[in-house]
Each structure stands twice: as structure tokens, then as C-alpha cells.
A and B are shown apart, each in its own frame.
Chain A
């Protein structure tokens, strides 16, 4: 699966995917220090969106989307 190039596209696609099927979705981040990147992945076992973050400002955005998603996961609905 190819990486989404644009952060906004990834953010929207990931949130939509989660909202469509919260029970089966998982969100993964992989950090490789030697290569200096974070790989983000959201999948529902059918489709998958990925994003590769290589710059420092991306970290803030990742923080935001992660806390958003965790909030959704632990909510009652």
C-alpha cells in the first residue's frame, strides 16, 4: 500500500475509516530512529492508509490525531 503524501488527506481518511468501523480498526505507529521517520498506519483489515512522517512539525499533528483517536476508542458510543 502506498503512502498518502498529504497530511490532511491521511487525517481525514484515517478518521473516516475509524468512524465507519470502530470495532475492527487499529492504528499503528512505528518509529525508526536510525532512519528518522515515523510510519503511521490505519487499517480495518480490508483497506489501509499509511503516512510517513519525516519532519519535526509532523510530530505535533501526530500527537493531535493520536489523542483524538484514543478519545474515540475509549468513549461510550
Chain B
């Protein structure tokens, strides 16, 4: 697992998406991340330190390639803008639905 910064993550994700286009798939996972990398201790032991902030952990996987990044609160808008751009450009294999012109519009034109 390679931990990257946000923009490098998107760049590599685009590469992975291109590779996966032919005959593979890729998976992206989002989950909350509070900075603790240790498991929760058993009862009676010292609990983990209280998290100061929450972040979002993004992981991507294609075949055996795995990358990840951590998005903090102030980076969410820029990251989501980049991510939606990525979705629009790379997830383009979905069926296009033809817009049905409404009758009112059709008669006006």
C-alpha cells in the first residue's frame, strides 16, 4: 500500500483506470480515519488517544496494485472536484440514455 498525497493519488488513479479499461476493474473505498493506526485495546488496558480531527481515507485497488491517500477536512472540496472530474472522464462506459423530448417542447419547436 502506497500512501500518496491527494493530487498524486488522482494522477495514479487515472493511470490505473486506463490500465483497467480493457479487461479488469478497479475499486475505490472511502472510510473515516482518525489518525490511529493501532487496533482498539482490550478491556482494562489504556484506551487509544482521543482523535483530534477526523479525516477520510481513500484507497484504490486494481489487480494487485494498491494506493491510498488521506483527505483532511480543508482539502475535501478540492479533492472532490478532482475526483468528480476523474469520474466523468474515466467512468464513461455506462449506458447513455436518450433524452425523451417532452411533447410540449416538441410542439413549440
Pair B23/A34 contact, Cβ less than 8 Å: yes
Pair B27/A74 contact, Cβ less than 8 Å: no
Pair A28/B56 contact, Cβ less than 8 Å: no
The answer, yes or no, to whether A62 is at the interface (CB within 8 Å) is: yes
Pair B25/A33 contact, Cβ less than 8 Å: yes
* Cα(A55)–Cα(B92), bound, Å: 10
* Cα(A66)–Cα(B81), bound, Å: 11
Q: Interface residue count for A (Cβ, 8 Å)? A: 35
Pair B76/A70 contact, Cβ less than 8 Å: yes
Pair B73/A30 contact, Cβ less than 8 Å: no
Q: Which residue of B lies closest to A64 (CB)?
A: B84
> Contacts A70-B30, A74-B71, A74-B72 given: A56-B96 contact, CB under 8 Å?
yes
Pair A54/B95 contact, Cβ less than 8 Å: yes
Pair A25/B97 contact, Cβ less than 8 Å: no
The answer, yes or no, to whether A3 is at the interface (CB within 8 Å) is: no
Pair B29/A28 contact, Cβ less than 8 Å: yes
Q: Which residue of A lies closest to B81 (CB)?
A: A67
> Contacts A37-B94, A76-B73 given: A29-B54 contact, CB under 8 Å?
no
Pair A69/B30 contact, Cβ less than 8 Å: yes
The answer, yes or no, to whether B53 is at the interface (CB within 8 Å) is: yes
A-B contact pairs, 13 of them (CB 8 A): A26-B31, A27-B31, A28-B30, A31-B90, A36-B95, A38-B91, A67-B80, A67-B84, A70-B56, A70-B80, A74-B71, A74-B76, A75-B73
Beyond A27-B30, A31-B20, A56-B97, 11 additional pairs, beta carbon < 8 A: A23-B34, A28-B27, A29-B28, A31-B28, A32-B93, A35-B93, A36-B95, A55-B95, A56-B96, A69-B30, A74-B71
Q: Which residues of A contact B (CB under 8 A)?
A: 22-23, 25-38, 53-59, 62-63, 66-67, 69-71, 73-77
